Chains A and B, each alone.
Chain A
Amino acid sequence: MNLHKLTSRLCPKATQKFRHLHIQSSGQQLEAVAVETASAEANPLSVFRTSERDPTYHSEGHSGQYYTLPPTHIQKLFPYGLPPRFQLQIKTFNEGCVMVRPPALELISYLKRADYSKPPLRYVLYGDIGTGKTMSLCHALHYCYSQGWLIVHVPDAHLWVKNCKELLPSSSRPSRFDQPIQASQWLKNFKITNERFLSKLKTTQRYVWTKRESTEKGQPLGELIDQGVNRMKSSSDVVGAVLRELRLQAGGATEGEGAFKLAVAVDGVNALWGKTSLKKEDRTMPEELTLIHNLRKMMKNNWSGGAILTALSQTGSVFKPRSAYLPSELLGEEGFDNMEPFVPVSVSNYNEKEFESCYLYYLDRNWLQHPHSRSEEGKKELIFLSNKNPSILERLCAFL
């Protein structure tokens, strides 16, 4: 894939010219669409791109078009949040372009209209494998970030449920088990994403970690996080404490410095209620894992002032058949009961227009090197072989 880095340098100059042609303002959406369709005959490349970088202003007219994620946002918001293949694609193309699709637009419109004084709404993105659930989640998360919310993002809850190298008995409670590595990793990411909030928020109670260490009441949240990052042993408990603080303070404070909205985004939410593949040293199943326990508490809507965005994922899940994609199948009974009521948002394969714009995007980026792929015949073949599934199309084009 690194071969294409050279070719991608040729492209930006051409596309930047076209970007300047678009009109950029929130109020004139319809006229912008009209201008775009008029200029489509002039330069077909611009049809699949939009220069609207702020997800707040994305609307139905932008559906099927790619918008660029600002690089600063990518670094801050998504250090590990994006799917690994997409991260590779960003590296290759030197830019992160996300397609605006109806499920994400639906989510964003719900977020815009929700009432934040009430308990948070739970949104579940579900769909077949490779249809773009994680990407839609990231799109909505980008919206929250640009609105200035505090982001709690768990990129993949399955990582906490399988393949953990270290499993320590918890320091606070005897029957629970800790995962120090994952917890400290997550705390680091949390710190990068939400730097501005760290100094503003204060703890509401005193936390005792060991005989010698404790965090006093009224300390800034940043200290709490540093505590967790430095002391690996108690990092999972720190995670629990952080989540608890955020829950208490999310809607509590009035307008002013302390007010913020909380976005809890969990990908692979079905991991929370499924079986673990972890084992203790004597090869029995652990009763409870701290991180999972804390996350489950977050999922309950006994707090206010935010939203819970989740996406199901079959690819990372343990002990689930590949054909399962509905919420009831993947969440299981327990999970379903816990998540009820929720707003389901279904994500499906590309439709004609989206496929067209994806194809044009790859052409524009010189990703499709084979001369046959540029013809009509090649396009039909691509449609057939991938059945317009985003991830399969991406894998297919990777070696063309």
Chain B
Amino acid sequence: QSDKFVSAGPQKFTQEFIDKQVEEFEVGKRHLANMMGEDPETFTQEDIDRSIAYLFPSGLFEKRARPVMKHPDEIFPKQTAIQWDAEGRPFHFLFYTGRQSYYSLLHDVYEKILAIERHQDKMRNKGLFTLLTGSRWLLKEEIEEYLVENISDHDYVRLIQLMEKLLSMPYCSLEEEFILKFRKQLEAQSSKHEIPALQYDPQGVAFSVADGRRKTAKASITLRDSGSGNITINGRNYLHCFPLLQDREQLMFPLHFVGMLGRFDIEGSVEGSGHSAQAGALRLAISRALLSFVSEGEVERIRQAGLLTADPRIRERKKPGQEGARKKFTWKKR
């Protein structure tokens, strides 16, 4: 049904048709050469034109209307081959733009631009990159201190923009020293956490004690290095304390992250709040206690995993004039 509505367009010639025409032209050229009594091998286009003008004299004024025998490439207009397959799906992905070749050319050029930019980045980053991470630009106050002059915010922003432009040049590593004067190192934050001391039992078993808090729940645990993986909380097995899988998973997280699941014995006490908060408090306490059993790099990893941050969320206060902390009374229009 869709065939009725498709416009025919300029007549399309298949490649085979064109090839056949070329063959016929070659054969005809040789015939013509024979007819004119000349050598078929060296029969040029001018000779063809001369012979046709001789054989078919025409009195037409319009030169383009006179009989012509030319190579099919010049006669048949250079047109695009059929752009879609038997089911009507176009081959090129930009077919529906209407001018697929033009847009695909633009696309190629842009890709080349991107490639060159990437290359530029690579060359640029070789120089200063390692020193730029972990540092920041000097603050406005610090620049004022350096210059012994007052600058406004606007000036400061301009200065930073200019520095960024300097950095964006490929060969900025020449001025490395100069730029570093204006960058300040960030402190590595993992050194801020205090690691609980590793104490030793009379039997020689290493253990550490740590606390944790979450939303009114306080937990305190002793992590022993004996190696069976039992967990006793408030004197009961943790299966009884936390029948919910989610709570047990919270307990498992620090040990699993470090990879020491079956190595420790945990003995702890919790009080306050609900089961989820108690599990969170225990988790914090376990991760803190683990710090003493683990290397420096691991400490940084644990910190980045978020195991050492105390969850600051607490219950929001109920406000007067509202039902709860956020919930309002039913709104009546009048």
Report A364-397 residues with CB < 8 Å from chain B CB.
Answer: 377, 380-381, 383-385, 387, 389, 392, 396
B236 contact set on A, CB distance < 8 A = 323
Docked-complex contact B238 and A387, CB < 8 angstroms: yes
B249 touches A385 (CB 8 A): yes
Contact of A384 with B261 in the complex, beta carbons under 8 Å = yes
| B231, B237, B261 interface centre (most CB from chain A within 10 Å) | B261
A363 to chain B, nearest CB (A): 19
**Contact call B252/A381, Cβ cutoff below 8 A:** yes
Q: Is the CB of A381 within 8 A of B256?
A: yes
Q: Name the contact of B262 in the complex, choosing from A380, A385, A389 (C-beta under 8 A).
A: A380
- Looking at the assembled complex, report how far the CB atom of A393 sits from the nearest CB atom of chain B, in whole angstroms: 11
Separation of A384 and B239 alpha carbons in the complex (Å): 10
Chain A contacts for B237, CB-based, 8 A:
387
A387 interface neighbour in B239, B255, B259, Cβ under 8 Å? B239
Chain A CB within 8 A of B306 CB: no
Alpha-carbon distance A384/B262, docked complex (angstroms):
8
Q: Point out the residue from B231, B239, B249 that lies within 8 Å of A389, measured CB to CB.
A: B239
Instruction: State how many angstroms separate the Cβ of A60 from the closest Cβ of chain B.
Output: 24
Closest chain A residue to B236, Cβ basis: A323
Residues on the A chain within 8 Å of B239, using CB: 387, 389, 392
A233-260 interface (Cβ within 8 A of B)? none
Contacts of B261 in A (CB 8 A): 377, 380-381, 383-384
Q: With A and B bound together, what is the CA distance between A387 and B261 in angstroms?
A: 12
Provide the bound-state CA to CA distance between A76 and B238, in Å: 40
Known: A380-B261, A380-B262. A323 touches B248 (CB 8 A): no
**Interface SS majority for chain B:** helix
Whole-angstrom CA separation of A381 from B237 in the bound complex? 17
Chain A binding surface SS class: helix
Q: Which residue of B lies closest to A322 (CB)?
A: B240
Say whether B229 faces chain A, with CB atoms less than 8 Å apart.
Answer: yes
Q: Which positions 198-252 of chain B face chain A at CB distance < 8 Å?
A: 229, 231, 236-240, 245, 248-249, 252
**Distance in angstroms between the alpha carbons of A385 and B229 in the assembled complex:** 11
- B240 closest partner in A (C-beta): A323
Contacts of B259 in A (CB 8 A): 377
| B248-A385 in contact (CB<8A) | yes
The interface centre, meaning the residue of B236, B239, B245, B248 with most chain A CB atoms within 10 A of its CB, is: B239
Contact B245 A383 (CB under 8 A): no
List, in ascending order, chain A residues with CB within 8 A of B262's CB: 380, 383-384
Chain A's closest residue to B256 (CB) is A381
Q: Which residue of A lies closest to B230 (CB)?
A: A387
A384 touches B245 (CB 8 A): no
How many angstroms between the C-alpha atoms of A392 and B243 in the bound complex?
9
Kindly provide the distance from the CB of B265 to the nearest chain A CB, expressed in whole angstroms: 12
Q: Which residues of B contact A380 (CB under 8 A)?
A: 256, 261-262
In the complex, what residues of B have CB within 8 A of residue A377's CB? 256, 259, 261
Q: In the complex the two chains form, is A383's CB within 8 Å of B229's CB?
A: yes
* Shortest distance between the CB of A396 and any CB in chain B (Å): 7
Measured CA separation A359–B282 after assembly (Å)? 29
Residues of A within 8 A of B249 (CB): 385
A305-326 toward B: CB 8 Å interface, digit per residue (1/0)? Answer: 0000000000000000011000
Contacts of A392 in B (CB 8 A): 239
A385 touches B252 (CB 8 A): yes
What are the residues of chain B within 8 A of A322 when measuring CB–CB?
240
In the bound complex, how far is the Cα of B240 from the Cα of A253, in angstroms? 49
- Please indicate the chain B residues that have their CB under 8 angstroms from the CB of A384 in the complex: 229, 248, 252, 255-256, 261-262
Q: How distant is B264 from chain A, measured CB to nearest CB, in Å?
A: 11
Q: Which residues of A contact B231 (CB under 8 A)?
A: 387
Considering the chains assembled together, what is the distance between the CA atoms of A385 and B252 in angstroms?
Answer: 7
Which of chain A's residues has its CB closest to B238's CB? A387
**B245 pairs with A385, CB closer than 8 A:** yes
B139 to chain A, nearest CB (A): 46
Bound-complex Cα distance A377 to B258 (A):
12
Complex Cα gap A380–B256 (Å): 9
Q: Which residues of B contact A396 (CB under 8 A)?
A: 245
Most chain B C-beta atoms within 10 Å of own C-beta, residue among A322, A384, A385:
A384
Smallest CB gap from B231: residue in A = A387
Contacts of A385 in B (CB 8 A): 245, 248-249, 252
Contact bitstring B142-176, A, C-beta under 8 A = 1, else 0: 00000000000000000000000000000000000
For the complex, give the distance between the alpha carbons of A387 and B248 in Å.
10
Could you say which of A322, A380, A396 has the most chain B C-beta atoms within 10 Å of its C-beta? Answer: A380
Contact bitstring A202-233, B, C-beta under 8 A = 1, else 0: 00000000000000000000000000000000
Bound Cα distance from A381 to B255, whole angstroms: 10
Q: Chain B nearest CB: distance from A207 CB in Å?
A: 48
Once bound together, how far apart are the Cα atoms of A381 and B262, in whole Å? Answer: 9
Chain A residues, CB < 8 A from B229: 383-384
Determine how close the nearest CB of chain A comes to the CB of B304; give it in whole angstroms: 21
Q: How far apart sit A396 and B262, CA to CA, in the bound complex (Å)?
A: 19
Tell me the bound Cα distance from A136 to B6 in angstroms: 78
CA distance A377 to B259 in the complex (A): 8
Looking at A377, A387, A389, the one whose CB has the most chain B CB atoms below 10 A away is A387
Chain B proximity of A330: nearest CB distance (Å): 15
Interface centre among A381, A389, A396 (most CB of B within 10 A): A381
User: Could you tell me the distance in whole angstroms from the C-beta of A321 to the nearest C-beta in chain B?
Assistant: 11
Closest CB in chain B relative to A16 CB, distance in Å: 35
Q: A-contacting residues of B (Cβ < 8 Å)?
A: 229, 231, 236-240, 245, 248-249, 252, 255-256, 259, 261-262
Q: List 29 A-B contacts (CB under 8 A).
A: A322-B240, A323-B236, A323-B240, A377-B259, A377-B261, A380-B256, A380-B261, A380-B262, A381-B252, A381-B256, A381-B261, A383-B229, A383-B261, A383-B262, A384-B229, A384-B248, A384-B252, A384-B255, A384-B261, A384-B262, A385-B245, A385-B249, A385-B252, A387-B237, A387-B238, A387-B239, A389-B239, A392-B239, A396-B245
Not counting A383-B229, A384-B248, A396-B245, a sample of 13 additional A-B residue pairs whose C-beta atoms are within 8 angstroms of each other reads: A377-B256, A377-B259, A377-B261, A380-B262, A381-B256, A381-B261, A384-B229, A384-B252, A385-B245, A385-B248, A385-B249, A387-B237, A387-B239
The 4 closest A-B pairs by CB, nearest first: A380-B261, A387-B239, A384-B252, A385-B248
